[in-house]
Structure 1
Amino acid sequence: MEFIELILINKLDGVILKYPHQENIDGTVCITGHHLILSSRKEGVRELWLLHKNIDCIEKKENKPSSSITQGGSLFLKCKDLRIFQLDIASSTELHQVAQTLENLAGLQNPSLFYPFFYRHMNPIMENGYTLYSVEGEFTKVLATEEWRISRVNQNYTICPAYPKSVVVPKNIDDETLATAASFRQGGRFPVLSYRHNNGAVLLRAGQPLYGPKHRRCRADEALLNAVVSVGMKGVIYDLRGSSAISQHQNKGGGTESNSNYSQWRIYNRSMDDVDNQQQLLDSFSKLIEACNDKEISSDKWISKLESCGWPESVRNALHTACIVAQHIHQKAEPVLIHGSRGEDATLLVCSLVQIILNPDCRTIRGLQALIEREWLQAGHPFGTRHRCGVYGAPQPRAAPTFPLFLDCARQFLEQFPCSFEYRQSFLVTLFEHSYASQFGTFLCDSEQERESRGVYTQTTSLWSWVNQPDELSGYINPLYEPTPTVIWPSVAPMSFVIWEELYLRWQIEQRTEQREEQYKAIRTREQQLRAQAQQLRRELYEIAHQYYGPDVKDTLCDK
C-alpha cells in the first residue's frame, strides 16, 4: 500500500493552530505519510511536527453562520501524549479532506508502516541500544554462582511466544523439565528469575498455573519452584488476584497453586485486579485525565473527582504490594514468586517496583533502561496492543495504560526521594511519549519474537541509542542526585500521593520543575555548608577543651 492512496490533501495554506501556553500560529499545513507539519514564517520560523500515530481522536466542529450555510470549522486533534490541538480551517471541503486524511493515516495498524521503519538518525550511532541489555550481561553476577544458568529452551519461541530466547533458571533444572512446566502455566510463562538480592533471596515471575476445576498438578513445575527454596525455609507465592477472579479463571482452566502440592511455599492473595483488568484501568486513566482537563470544576470537587477515578488507588496499591514483596526478600531473605493471570501486566509492574526499592542500580538512567528491557520488553508486555489507543480514542480490545501506571509509581518515588535518583521527571515523561508514538522502534510490537520477525532490531533505531548520547543524556540528569546504596521504602499513605503535574497537567498549567530543582539544590548546598561549619566549630571546641582539661577530654565533643 502506498501512503499517497490515503492522502486526500497534502498541503493547505491559511490554517490557524491553537494550543495552550502558545500564541496562535497562522501557517501552512503539509501532510506526509507519517507527519502533520504546520509551519509559519510570518514572525520567524515556527513549526509543529506531529506524528500521525500520536493522534488518538479527531473531532470536527463546523461553523454555522446565521445564513445556515456551513463555512469551514475546526479540527480538534486529541493526542496520546495528552495534548489537544485546534486547527481552524476556512473551507468545509478542505476541513473534511484533512480530517479524513488524518484518520486514514492515524488508523494504520501494520507496524511495518510506522515511522520507525522510515526514520534515519542524522548523527552516527555511538552504541546499539538493542544489544545493550542482554540476559547474559544483566545477570553476570547471578550466573557466576553455582545456583543459576541461562536456558535457551525458548530459542525458537515455541515454549513461550512472549518470552525471550534466553531466560535464567535454577541450574539443576533441565530444559525438558522447563518445557513440561511451561505447559502448566498460562501462555507458557514458566517461572523465571526476575531479580536476585544481595542476601541471596530471589524474585521469580510466571503466569498462573493451569490448575483447573479437576485440580491438575505438575510435578515439573513443583520441582522448578522447590529448587530455589533452601532447606528449612519456605518460599512465598503472591497471586495478584482476588478470590472472585481466581474462581473465574479456575472455571476456565486456570487457578492458583494448592497448599498440598506446594508444601514448601506459603500462598497469599494480593488483589491487583484493577491493573490486570485492562478496560477498568483504561477507564480509570481516562477519568483522571478528564478531571485534569476540567478547568471549571471547584477545587473540592476536583479532589473528590480525582480520588474517585481510581487511578491514585491503583498507584498506592501497586506501591504497597511492592513494599510487601520487598520486605519478604530484604528482611526475611525468602524467595518470592509473583503471578497474576497471564503475567503481562500487574506481575511485571510489581516486579519492576520491587527492584526500584531494593536495587540502587535501578535508580540510575541506564539502570532504568535495563529494568524496562528485562521486565517489560523482553518479558513480553504487549506494548503494541496496550498502547493502540490512549485516553481520548475509542477503546480498543486489551488496550491499557499499565506502563504509564509504572511510570507514575516511579514519579512517586522521585517525589519522596528527590536525591536518590539519577534521572529527573523529564526522563519519565520522555518514556511515556515514546511508548505511544515514536521515531524509534523500542516499544513497537507485542514481544521480542514479533520485533525480530518484523525486522525491528535491524531496520529501526533504538530509543536507548538516542537517549544515551552525551548531549541528550545531560538533559535527563537530576542535579540533586546523590546515590543511595541502601533500600528505600516509599510511603503508601493516601496523603503521600502526588498528582503528576509535569505529565497530566503540563498542557493546562505552566510547569516550573527546573526552577524547583534549582531551589532544592540551593537548599542542599546551604545545608552542606552549615554542616561543614558546625563540624569545624566542634573541632575548635574540642581543641579549646583539650587545652583546659588535658588529653582526657571526651572525643564526643568532636563529631569525627
Structure 2
Amino acid sequence: MEFVELIKTPKVDGVVLHYPFRASVEGTLCLTGHHLILSSRKTNSEELWLLHSNIDSIEKKFVGSIGYLTIKCKDFKIIHLDIPGMEECLNIASSIEVLSSLETITLTYPFFFRPMFDVMEDGWQAFLPENEFARLLGEEWRLSHVNKNFDVCPSYPQTVIVPKSIDDGTLEMSARFRHGGRFPVLSYHHSANGMVMMRCGQPLTGPNNKRCKDDERLVNAVLSIGKRGYIIDTRSPSVAQTAKAKGGGVETEAHYPQWRRIHRAIERYYVLQESLVKLIEGCTDTGGSMDKWISRLDSCNWLNHVKDVLTTACLAAQCIDREGASVLVHGSEGIDCTLQVTSIAQIILDPDCRTVRGFEALVEREWLQAGHPFADRCSKSAFSVSKPRFEGPVFLLFLDCVWQIYQQFPCSFEFNEQFLIYLFDHSYASQFGTFLCNNEADRKKVKLSTKTVSLWSYINRPEILQTFLNPLYEKNTSVIWPSVAPQSLLLWSGLYLKHMVNQSAYNQAWNEIVRIKQRDSDLQLRAVRLRKQLMELQKEAVQKNLIVDDE
C-alpha cells in the first residue's frame, strides 16, 4: 500500500491554525504519510508538525465555504484549523482519519524515522535482564531461559529471575496453573533486609479448588523456615470469587500456609478509561462555574484511583521494609494493576528508581519487558468517540502516582515533571519504537530493535538529558513514605491542564530556579578551584621556606 493512495488532498493554501496561548498562523497545510504539517512563509512564525498517530478524534463544521476542523490529540492538545473550501476540508479530514488509525504496525512512523543525531548508546541494549539483575544472581536466585521461544508465557520476556532451587520443569507446570502462563517471577530485591517482591497472574483454581504442587513449591521457595509472606491481590474478594467461578481464583491458604492473602481493590483498565474521559471533559469545559468544576473532578473518580494504587503500593512496601516479609502481587492477568503496585513500591523503597536511569530501567523492566499491552491500552485516549475495547490509561495512572510522590518529595527525584510528561506523550504517539507492541514476543516478530530507534537512545544524550534534570535533587538513600490523605493528592495540572491553563508563569519560575541553581553550582565550582589554587600556593610557600632554612 502506498500512502499517496490514502491522501486525497496533499496540500491546501490559506489555512489558519489556532493553537492555545499562541497567535494564529496562516500558511500552507500539507499531508504526508505520517504527519500533518502547517508552515508559514512569515519569518519566526509558528510551525505545526503533528503525528497522525497522535490524533484521537476530528470534528468538522462548515460555515459557508470555510471548513473548521477541531483536532483532539492523545496528549490532550486541541488545535483548530480553518480550511478554505468544503471539498478540501472533507478530503483532509477523511485522509487524517485513515492515516491516524493504520493497523499495520510496520507502516507507522517509527519504522520510517531516521535520527538526525548520533546514537551514542543503543537504548535497546541498555537495560537487558542479564545486566539489570546481575547483582541478584547469588545463592538464592538464577536467570532462567525457560521462556526462550515465548512458548511458556507469551507475555513474559525470554529471560526471568526465579529461585535457584526451582528447575525449569517446575516453572512450566506453574505456568499452566497461572493465568496467561504468568508464573511467579522476581520483581524486586530489597537489599536492606533481603526480602523480595514477586508478581504473577491469578491461579487457575476454579470452582473445584484445583491445586498445583509445583506452583506451591515455587511460591514457598522464596520464604525461609519460620518466615511469612503476603499475597496482595489487587481485586476485591467478591471479584476474586467471581473469577474463581469462571476458572480463575486465589491461592488456597491450606496449600500456601506461610502466606497471608490481602485484598486491595484497584479498578480495571476500562473503568480507568471512563474516568479519564470524564476528567478531560471537565478540564476542557472552560465555561463552567467553580461548583461545577469541583463536582466534575469529584465524580470522575480519577484521584480515587490514584489513592488506591498509592495505598496498595505503600502496603507492599511496608510489608517488605518494616515487617521484613516478602510479597507476591497479582490481580487477574497480572499485566495492569499488578505492575502499577510493584513499580510504585519500588519508587518508595529503592532510591535508584528515583534517578533518571533507574526510572528508565524500572519502566523497561516492570512495564515493557513485563508485558504491559501498550498497543492495546494506548491505542486511544480521552477524546476517542469509539467505544473502548482494550484501551485504558494504566501507564498514565502509574506516572500520575509517581508525580504525586514527586510533589511530596521534590528533592528526592533526579528527574523533573517534564520527564514524566514526555514519557506519557511517547507512550501514546512517538517517532521511537520503545512503546510499540504489547510484549517482547510481538516486538521480536517485527524486529523493533533493528528497525526502529529506542526512546532511551534519544533521552540519554547529555544535551537532552539536561532538560529533564531536577535542579533541586539531593540524593536520598532512605525509604520515602508518601501521604495518601485526600488533602495530599493533587490534580496534575501540568499535564491535564497544560493546554487549557497558561503555564508560562510557572515555566518562568521554574527556569529561574534552574538559573539560580546553576549560578550556585558555578560559584561552588569556582570556590573549589580557588581553594585548589590556594593550597598549591601554600605548598609552594612551604617549599620555599624549607629551602631558605637549609641555606
Give the alignment's TM-score, normalised by structure 2.
0.92
Are 1:240 and 2:243 counterparts? no
Structure 1 segment 349-364 matched on structure 2, within 5 A: 349-364=340-355
State the match for 2:280 in structure 1: 289
Q: How far, CA to CA, are the matches of 2:395 and 2:509 in structure 1? A: 27
State the match for 2:477 in structure 1: 485
State the match for 2:271 in structure 1: 280
Q: 2:248 aligns with which of 247, 254, 271?
A: 254
Are 1:332 and 2:323 counterparts? yes
State the match for 1:150 in structure 2: 143
Q: 2:338 aligns with which of 342, 347, 350?
A: 347
Q: How far did 1:519 drift?
A: 6.5
Q: Which runs of 5+ in 2 are unaligned?
A: 522-551
State the match for 1:34 in structure 2: 34
Q: How far did 1:513 drift?
A: 3.8
Are 1:370 and 2:361 counterparts? yes
Q: How far, CA to CA, are the matches of 2:77 and 2:507 in structure 1? A: 21
Contact kept? 2:471, 2:517, Cα under 8 Å: no
Contact kept? 1:72, 1:91, Cα under 8 Å: yes
Label 1:415 to 1:515 Cα distance change in 2 as closer, same or farther (>3 A). Answer: farther
Contact kept? 1:388, 1:396, Cα under 8 Å: no
Residues 507-550 of structure 1, C-alpha deviations (whole Å, 9 max, x = no match): 1112144444467679999999xxxxxxxxxxxxxxxxxxxxxx
Label 1:114 to 1:298 Cα distance change in 2 as closer, same or farther (>3 A). Answer: same
Are 1:217 and 2:207 counterparts? no
Q: How far, CA to CA, are the matches of 2:270 and 2:59 in structure 1? A: 23
State the match for 2:495 in structure 1: 503
The code of the aligned residue for 2:140 comes to E
Are 1:385 and 2:376 counterparts? yes
Q: How far did 1:20 drift?
A: 0.8
Q: How far, CA to CA, are the matches of 2:142 and 2:361 in structure 1? A: 19
State the match for 1:167 in structure 2: 160
Q: How far, CA to CA, are the matches of 1:520 and 1:43 in structure 2? A: 32
The code of the aligned residue for 1:454 comes to V
The code of the aligned residue for 1:483 comes to K
Q: 2:174 aligns with which of 166, 181, 195?
A: 181
Say which SS state the counterpart of residue 392 (structure 1) adopts: coil
The code of the aligned residue for 2:22 comes to Q
Contact kept? 2:471, 2:513, Cα under 8 Å: no
Residues 258-287 of structure 1, C-alpha deviations (whole Å, 9 max, x = no match): 111111111111111x1x2x2211010111
Contact kept? 1:479, 1:517, Cα under 8 Å: no
Q: How far did 1:499 drift?
A: 1.1
Q: How far, CA to CA, are the matches of 2:489 and 2:513 in structure 1? A: 20
State the match for 2:22 in structure 1: 22
Q: How far, CA to CA, are the matches of 1:513 and 1:453 in structure 2? A: 44
Q: How far, CA to CA, are the matches of 1:460 and 1:526 in structure 2? A: 39
Q: How far, CA to CA, are the matches of 1:188 and 1:521 in structure 2? A: 48
Q: How far, CA to CA, are the matches of 2:519 and 2:126 in structure 1? A: 39
Q: How far did 1:191 drift?
A: 0.1
Residues 201-254 of structure 1, C-alpha deviations (whole Å, 9 max, x = no match): 000000000010010000000000110011111111011101221122112100
Residues 471-519 of structure 1, C-alpha deviations (whole Å, 9 max, x = no match): 1000000000001100000010001111111111111112144444467
Query: How many residues are paired up?
Result: 518
Contact kept? 2:37, 2:49, Cα under 8 Å: yes
Residues 273-319 of structure 1, C-alpha deviations (whole Å, 9 max, x = no match): x1x2x221101011111111111222233122112201000001111
Label 1:525 to 1:83 Cα distance change in 2 as closer, same or farther (>3 A). Answer: closer
The code of the aligned residue for 2:239 comes to A
Contact kept? 1:142, 1:148, Cα under 8 Å: yes
Q: 1:268 aligns with which of 256, 262, 266?
A: 262
Q: How far, CA to CA, are the matches of 1:343 and 1:520 in structure 2? A: 41
Q: How far, CA to CA, are the matches of 2:334 and 2:455 in structure 1? A: 25
More deviation, 176-185/498-507: 498-507
Are 1:57 and 2:51 counterparts? no
Q: How far did 1:46 drift?
A: 3.2
Label 1:286 to 1:234 Cα distance change in 2 as closer, same or farther (>3 A). Answer: same
Structure 1 segment 87-126 matched on structure 2, within 5 A: 87-126=81-120
Contact kept? 2:228, 2:259, Cα under 8 Å: yes
Are 1:459 and 2:451 counterparts? yes
Q: How far, CA to CA, are the matches of 2:16 and 2:2 in structure 1? A: 29
Q: How far did 1:109 drift?
A: 1.4
Q: Which runs of 4+ in 1 moved over 3 A?
A: 43-46, 512-528
State the match for 1:535 in structure 2: none
Q: How far, CA to CA, are the matches of 1:183 and 1:5 in structure 2? A: 47
Q: How far, CA to CA, are the matches of 1:521 and 1:99 in structure 2? A: 42
Q: How far, CA to CA, are the matches of 1:381 and 1:207 in structure 2? A: 12
The code of the aligned residue for 2:497 comes to L
Q: How far, CA to CA, are the matches of 1:316 and 1:44 in structure 2? A: 45
More deviation, 186-195/304-313: 304-313
Q: How far, CA to CA, are the matches of 2:118 and 2:198 in structure 1? A: 39
The code of the aligned residue for 1:389 comes to K
Q: How far, CA to CA, are the matches of 1:521 and 1:98 in structure 2? A: 43
Contact kept? 1:389, 1:395, Cα under 8 Å: no
State the match for 2:293 in structure 1: 302
The code of the aligned residue for 1:167 comes to V
State the match for 1:399 in structure 2: 391
Q: How far did 1:395 drift?
A: 3.2
State the match for 2:537 in structure 1: none
Q: How far did 1:396 drift?
A: 3.2
Q: How far, CA to CA, are the matches of 2:4 and 2:127 in structure 1? A: 39
The code of the aligned residue for 2:242 comes to Q
Q: How far, CA to CA, are the matches of 1:380 and 1:409 in structure 2? A: 20
Q: How far, CA to CA, are the matches of 2:124 and 2:515 in structure 1? A: 39
Q: How far did 1:29 drift?
A: 0.5
Structure 1 segment 418-497 matched on structure 2, within 5 A: 418-497=410-489
Are 1:7 and 2:7 counterparts? yes
The code of the aligned residue for 2:489 comes to F
The code of the aligned residue for 1:91 comes to G
Give the aligned CA root-mean-square deviation in angstroms: 1.7
The code of the aligned residue for 2:201 comes to G
State the match for 1:66 in structure 2: none
Q: How far, CA to CA, are the matches of 2:174 and 2:202 in structure 1? A: 11
Q: How far, CA to CA, are the matches of 1:181 and 1:513 in structure 2? A: 52
Q: How far, CA to CA, are the matches of 1:312 and 1:489 in structure 2? A: 18
Q: How far did 1:414 drift?
A: 1.2
Contact kept? 1:229, 1:335, Cα under 8 Å: yes
The code of the aligned residue for 1:46 comes to E
Say which SS state the counterpart of residue 306 (structure 2) adopts: helix
State the match for 1:134 in structure 2: 128
Say which SS state the counterpart of residue 15 (structure 1) adopts: strand
Contact kept? 2:19, 2:78, Cα under 8 Å: yes
Residues 151-172 of structure 1, C-alpha deviations (whole Å, 9 max, x = no match): 0000000000000000000000
The code of the aligned residue for 1:101 comes to S
Say which SS state the counterpart of residue 322 (structure 2) adopts: helix
Q: How far, CA to CA, are the matches of 2:275 and 2:70 in structure 1? A: 23
Residues 63-101 of structure 1, C-alpha deviations (whole Å, 9 max, x = no match): 1xxxxxx42220111000111111111211111100111
Contact kept? 1:80, 1:390, Cα under 8 Å: yes
Label 1:33 to 1:520 Cα distance change in 2 as closer, same or farther (>3 A). Answer: closer
Q: How far did 1:45 drift?
A: 4.6
Contact kept? 2:25, 2:45, Cα under 8 Å: no
Say which SS state the counterpart of residue 162 (structure 2) adopts: strand
Say which SS state the counterpart of residue 46 (structure 1) adopts: coil
